[in-house]
């Protein structure tokens, strides 16, 4: 009987499941534990060859809104249903789409996905839509709002914020019930941009220790003569992997015995591999490709240092707080990262890690030299890092905020009244 009273929330995602979006998986599992009834809608089929084992724990029904699923006949019937149920809304939605086409290049495909999503809302009695990323998923949620009146909220992250045209982002925020974002840095930016009464809140992804309960080990467990520098992330400009590779060359020239493993996949793979060859680092730097969570944990347990020298890309794209930094810190690894975006909210320089300026191989190599030379420093930073994550970035308090927002959105037509979460210690940078 209790299930009847659970809020029915649709999670609208671009791709489900996606191996690089562990934060979405973790959030869904945490909401599931907190009695939020979820329905997952994905705009496209998964493109990864494998998935994290925890994906099998997700109880939510999944529907796909890709071209292969939203066939011509389904689109026609879904559109007719909208016409019968909300004829005036359908006409106004089409006019809205035509008026905004030049502004944000909304495509016909997004309209088709929106009418199919509207059908799911009606069929499964979905009470609210939460769109992860302010890009395509929010564009679809916004159209569903026009078609049916269903409320939606936004979870904004990185390039979906900084690569979106400001007028488009302002409009999407204004139409949303609420907006959450994963760093204080993002939150300040969105609040400055926001011209509406929509509340914008910082809700960290948080760290779930359950995923690591059997895995935390003491540093220096590896018996290899070579120390391992580990890095993890999508092979994109904003991760700073070129900076890491150049720093590795300086370490090699200085005579250090080490290896550097970079885990991930993405558009820079060929360029990074060519850079490794050109610097004669094939025996030192390895691109490990895509790994699932259990494989990555095994690699964390072998590593001595974690390095992720993030930067702001030429197109303005940047990270928020990379989840892999939290994971490495939870595994008691000393971390080196950059003073940009939300990273200083997590990593306190000289206390729970080392921070450098972005795009600076010299500073990175110097920080890595310090850690390679000083085992005690590695231990002290690693222990402080784990405590920092457990004390300030636990997943449950952040999920509780999200749960309250969903409940308010379901039970009221007004935008939620929220209190600001406390800001974690640490410096904030506007770079």
Phi, psi dihedrals of residue 429, rounded to the nearest 5°:
-120, 140
At 67 the pLDDT is 84
- C-alpha 343/C-alpha 349 separation (Å) is 10
Tell me whether residue 418 is in a domain.
no
Q: How many domains does the chain have?
A: 2
At 216 the pLDDT is 52
At 24 the pLDDT is 96
At 10 the pLDDT is 98
pLDDT digits (tens, 9 = 90+) for 97-148: 888 875 665 578 899 999 999 999 999 999 999 999 999 999 999 999 999 9
Percent of the chain topping pLDDT 70: 91
Tell me whether residue 313 is in a domain.
yes
Do 136 and 249 have their domain in common? no
Tell me whether residue 428 is in a domain.
no
Is residue 388 packed enough to be buried (19+ CB in 10 Å), middle (13-18) or exposed (0-12)? Answer: buried
- DSSP letter, residue 156: E
pLDDT digits (tens, 9 = 90+) for 345-385: 999 999 999 999 999 999 999 999 999 999 999 999 999 99
Model confidence band, residue 214 (pLDDT cutoffs 50, 70, 90): low
**pTM (whole model) above 0.85:** yes
Name which of 19-33, 104-118, 227-241 the model is least confident about. 104-118
Do 297 and 381 have their domain in common? yes
Do 344 and 403 have their domain in common? no
Percent of the chain topping pLDDT 90: 79
Do 202 and 215 have their domain in common? no
At 218 the pLDDT is 54
At 91 the pLDDT is 93
More confident residue, 171 or 5: 171
Structural domain of residue 289, as residue ranges?
Answer: 209-392
Do 151 and 248 have their domain in common? no
Do 25 and 109 have their domain in common? yes
pLDDT digits (tens, 9 = 90+) for 382-422: 999 999 999 999 999 999 999 999 999 999 888 887 766 55
Do 71 and 114 have their domain in common? yes
Instruction: Give CA angle at 109 (105, 113), nearest 5°.
Output: 120
- C-alpha 23/C-alpha 52 separation (Å) is 12
Tell me whether residue 178 is in a domain.
yes
Do 172 and 248 have their domain in common? no
At 107 the pLDDT is 74
Tell me whether residue 429 is in a domain.
no
Tell me whether residue 293 is in a domain.
yes
- C-alpha 372/C-alpha 385 separation (Å) is 17
pLDDT digits (tens, 9 = 90+) for 246-288: 999 999 999 999 999 999 999 999 999 999 999 999 999 999 9
Q: What is the CATH number of the domain that holds 178?
A: 3.40.50.2000
β-sheet with 128-132: strand ranges across? 61-64, 37-44, 8-15, 128-132, 152-156, 179-181, 200-202
Name which of 42-46, 49-53, 161-165, 417-421 the model is least confident about. 417-421
Do 328 and 283 have their domain in common? yes
At 348 the pLDDT is 97
At 92 the pLDDT is 92
At 102 the pLDDT is 56
Tell me whether residue 379 is in a domain.
yes
The mean pLDDT value of the chain amounts to: 91
Residues 6+ apart with CB under 8 A from 108: none
Model confidence band, residue 222 (pLDDT cutoffs 50, 70, 90): very low
Output the CA–CA distances (angstroms, integers) from residue 245 to 43, 109, 327, in the order listed.
Answer: 35, 40, 22
Do 160 and 218 have their domain in common? no
Do 86 and 147 have their domain in common? yes
Q: Closest Cα partner for 205 from 227, 181, 224, 176?
A: 181
- C-alpha 64/C-alpha 76 separation (Å) is 17
pLDDT at 292 exceeding the cut of 70 = yes
Tell me whether residue 96 is in a domain.
yes
Residues 6+ apart with CB under 8 A from 423: 184, 202
Name which of 9-18, 176-185, 220-229, 344-353 the model is least confident about. 220-229
Do 60 and 135 have their domain in common? yes
pLDDT at 5 exceeding the cut of 60 = no
């Amino acid at each position: 009987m209790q299930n009847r009273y659970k809020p029915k929330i649709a999670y609208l995602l671009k791709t489900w499941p996606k191996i690089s979006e562990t934060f979405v998986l973790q959030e869904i599992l945490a909401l599931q534990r907190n009695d939020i009834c979820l329905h997952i809608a994905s705009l496209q089929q998964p493109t990864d060859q494998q998935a994290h084992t925890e994906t099998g724990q997700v109880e939510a029904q999944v529907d796909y809104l890709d071209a292969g699923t939203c066939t011509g006949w389904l689109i026609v019937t879904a559109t007719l249903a909208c016409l019968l149920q909300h004829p005036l809304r359908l006409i106004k939605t089409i006019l809205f789409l035509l008026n905004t086409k030049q502004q944000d290049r909304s495509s016909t495909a997004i309209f088709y996905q929106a009418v199919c999503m509207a059908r799911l809302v009606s069929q499964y009695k979905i009470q609210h839509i939460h769109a992860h990323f302010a890009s395509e998923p929010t564009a679809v949620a916004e159209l569903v709002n026009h078609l049916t009146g269903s409320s939606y909220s936004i979870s904004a992250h990185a390039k979906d914020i900084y690569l979106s045209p400001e007028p488009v982002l302002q409009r999407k925020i204004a139409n949303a019930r609420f907006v959450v974002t994963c760093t204080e840095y993002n939150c300040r930016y969105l609040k400055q941009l926001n011209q509406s009464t929509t509340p914008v809140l910082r809700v960290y992804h948080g760290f779930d220790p359950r995923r690591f309960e059997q895995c935390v080990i003491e540093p220096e467990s590896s018996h290899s003569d070579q120390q391992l520098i580990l890095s993890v992330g999508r092979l994109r400009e904003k991760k700073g992997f070129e900076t890491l590779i150049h720093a590795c060359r300086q370490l090699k020239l200085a005579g250090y015995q080490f290896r550097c493993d970079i885990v991930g996949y993405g558009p820079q793979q060929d360029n990074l591999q060519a850079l490794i060859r050109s610097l004669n680092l094939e025996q030192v730097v390895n691109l490990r490709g895509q790994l699932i969570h259990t494989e990555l944990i095994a690699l964390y347990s072998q590593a001595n240092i974690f390095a992720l020298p993030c930067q702001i890309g030429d197109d303005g794209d940047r990270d928020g707080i990379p989840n892999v930094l939290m994971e490495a810190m939870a595994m008691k690894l000393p971390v080196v990262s950059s003073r940009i975006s939300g990273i200083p909210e997590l990593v306190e320089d000289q206390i729970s890690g080392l921070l450098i300026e972005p795009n600076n191989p010299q500073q990175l190599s110097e920080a890595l030299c310090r850690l390679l030379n000083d085992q005690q420093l590695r231990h002290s930073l690693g222990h402080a890092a784990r405590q920092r994550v457990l004390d300030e970035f636990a997943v449950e308090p952040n999920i509780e905020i999200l749960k309250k927002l969903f409940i308010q959105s379901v039970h009221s037509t007004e935008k939620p009244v929220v209190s600001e979460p406390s800001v974690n210690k640490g410096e904030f940078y506007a770079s």
